[in-house]
Amino acid sequence: MNATAMLRPLNTWPFPGGALLAARRPTSRRFRMGLKRLCKLTLPVFLLVGGGSAAEALTPPYALTATAVSSGQIRLSWGAFNQGQLFYPIERSLNWTGGFAQVGIAPASATSYTDSGLAPGTRYYYRVRAAENGTASAYSAIVSAITFGTFTAATSTTTSTTSTTLAGSLAPVANAGADQFTQTLITLSFNGSGSVDRGGTITSYAWRFGDGGTASGVSPTHAYATPGTYTATLTITDSRGSSASDTAVVRVVNRSPVANAGSDQSGILGSAVTFRGSGSDQDGTVTSYTWDFGDGASAAGATASHAYATAGTYTAKLTVTDDRGALGSDSALVTVAGSPGGTPWARGFGGAASDVGYGVAVDASGNAVMTGRVESTVDFGGGVVCPPAAVFVSKYSPTGATVWSKCLGGVLGGGTGRAVAVDSSGNVLVTGKFSGTVDFGTGALTSAGPSSIFLAKYSAAGAPVWSRAFGGGLNDVGNGVAVDSG
């Protein structure tokens, strides 16, 4: 039979470590006092049952409760097994999952604590433990309470409203969402779904956006027409007629104007190029136009003219400014050809037969490249003389001087150059038709029929780069060629 059963205790008390302190009925014992007298003494008998000792870990408080007593106070109450030189650290958080910090200490004799200086209408979480001489018990269960909230409630009169303080569990709480940042005329979405009503049902959401605009509903939209900082206010009303408000700050910045420099242009040295720009501003007006022509020169006004002193490609930039100082810009490419000073020139080539130039192109430096066919012996300058039936390609400087010339074809075959183009690096591409066998500089090509198409490329200095032939059994002719911007 175990000790507990043998003692059959009338009373038990819990003891740290899970033990029980048990007392059975008093028992009598006789003692001899001195030499003659016997004394009868009646004593209760105690036994520690179930293991453990009085020196084991402290027992945490039990039955912890939290009750709001005002808009700034919450009262905690608990039960405790511990005796002696104890104290109770009180910890608080705004989140039951963590973030607890000690906010007070209760003495050993206490079983309650009032936490003060709290925010109205706010839920706080608490936990308590026992501590003594550097030793602490486990934490109690976590409890929470909401401080009373102050809000405006409708009354039966039509001339006043009453500010009423109710328990936190009854007060509605509005949530207008996060602060926002945007440009003018951008549609913003507002969200009041974070609003709660702990003692009723939210029946209306009323929004004031700070610029005179209003809306209703949980998630309205609104666009601001003018830059500035606005306060958007959400007011909720519940089924008891109670209301609460919250605000969100909206910062609205100016929208930049839009510039249009017009289409790309081309010009000749010494001749003015006219630029016609425009601008627009959705939330204001354009107040100024400024041109940068890409060669160090500038001008003001939506329309401007400028003559370039050097051949080349330029970027003309238009910048517009609106009535709030915001800027917008756009650019146009300008290709300027010709010789310094713009001196005109003319040259003629040919013999007794029919000699024809079919194509001409000008590069960015003002050099001219020409192609065609000769029927007689023709001198194109620079010591190059082409025989009859040959394709010719010749290049001339901005002043008309021969840079280089080529004759393609002769005894075994001939042809006609029909078109020529120049890329941004000055390379020359020429096309047309040829018959028989012709070497365009990179090896002989033979026509597939009476005539085939040829396409040949030469460097800016006239060196052959490559050549190709295309055709079937009939008369095939290449009539045009172009290069892309690359």
Mind listing the pLDDT tens digit for each residue in 143-180? 988 888 754 444 443 333 334 444 444 678 999 999 99
Cβ-defined contacts of 20-24 (< 8 Å, 24+): 20/48, 20/49, 20/50, 21/46, 21/47, 21/48, 21/49, 22/46, 22/47, 22/48, 22/49
- What superfamily does domain 62-146 belong to in CATH? Immunoglobulins (2.60.40.10)
pLDDT digits (tens, 9 = 90+) for 263-283: 999 888 878 999 999 999 999
What pLDDT is stored for residue 361 in this prediction? Answer: 93
* pLDDT value at residue 286: 96
pLDDT value, residue 216: 97
Name the nearest CA neighbour of 271 among 309, 307, 298: 307
| Cβ atoms of 67 and 75 closer than 8 Å | yes
**CA 360 from chain center: how many Å?**
51
pLDDT above 80 (res 339):
no
Comma-separated ranges of CATH 2.60.40.10 domains in the chain = 62-146, 151-253, 258-337
What's the confidence (pLDDT) of residue 170? 62
Average confidence (pLDDT) over 94-116: 92
pLDDT in tens, 419-447: 999 998 999 999 999 998 998 988 989 99
Q: What is the pLDDT of residue 466?
A: 94
Within 10 A of 457 (CB to CB), how many other CB atoms are there? 21
CATH of 258-337 given 2.40.50.140, 3.30.465.10, 3.30.1360.120, 2.60.40.10: 2.60.40.10
Condensed to tens digits (0 to 9), the pLDDT of residues 179-208 reads: 999 999 999 999 999 999 877 799 999 999
Across 363-383, average pLDDT? 86
Is residue 32 scored above 80 in pLDDT?
no
- The model's pTM is 0.38
Residues whose CB is less than 8 angstroms from the CB of residue 156 and which lie 6 or more positions away in sequence, other chains included: none
Residue predicted with more confidence, 22 or 322: 322
pLDDT at residue 7 in the model? 31
- The three state secondary structure string of the chain is CCHHHHHCCCEEEEEHHHEEEEECCCEEEEEEECCCEEEEEEECCEEEECCCCCCCCCCCCEEEEEEECCCCCEEEEEECCCCCCCEEEEEEECCCCCCCEEEEEEECCCCEEEECCCCCCCEEEEEECCEECCEECCCCCCEEEECCEEEEECCCCCCCCEEEEECCCCCEECCCCCCEEEECCCEEECCCCCCEECCCCEEEEEEECCCCCEEECCCCEEECCCCEEEEEEEEEEECCCEEEEEEEEEEEECCCCEEECCCCEEEECCCEEEEECEEECCCCCEEEEEEECCCCCEEECCEEEEECCCCEEEEEEEEEEECCCCEEEEEEEEEEECCCCCCCCCCCCCCCCCCEEEEEEECCCCCEEEEEEECCCEECCCCCEECCCEEEEEEECCCCCEEEEEEECCCCEEEEEEEEEECCCCCEEEEEEEEEEEECCCCEEECCCCEEEEEEEECCCCCEEEEEEECCCCECCCCCCCCCCC
- Looking at domain 151-253, its CATH architecture is Sandwich (2.60)
Model pLDDT for residues 379-424, shown as the tens digit of each residue: 887 777 788 888 999 999 888 888 999 888 766 678 889 999 999 8
pLDDT value at residue 459? 95
User: In this structure, what token pair is assigned to residue 196?
Assistant: 């709660």
Q: The tokens of 204 are what?
A: 């209306």
Contact 269, 311 (CB under 8 A): yes
Q: Label residues 11-45 b or e (16+ Cβ within 10 Å = b).
A: eeeebbeebbbbebeeeeeeeeeeeeeeeeeeeee
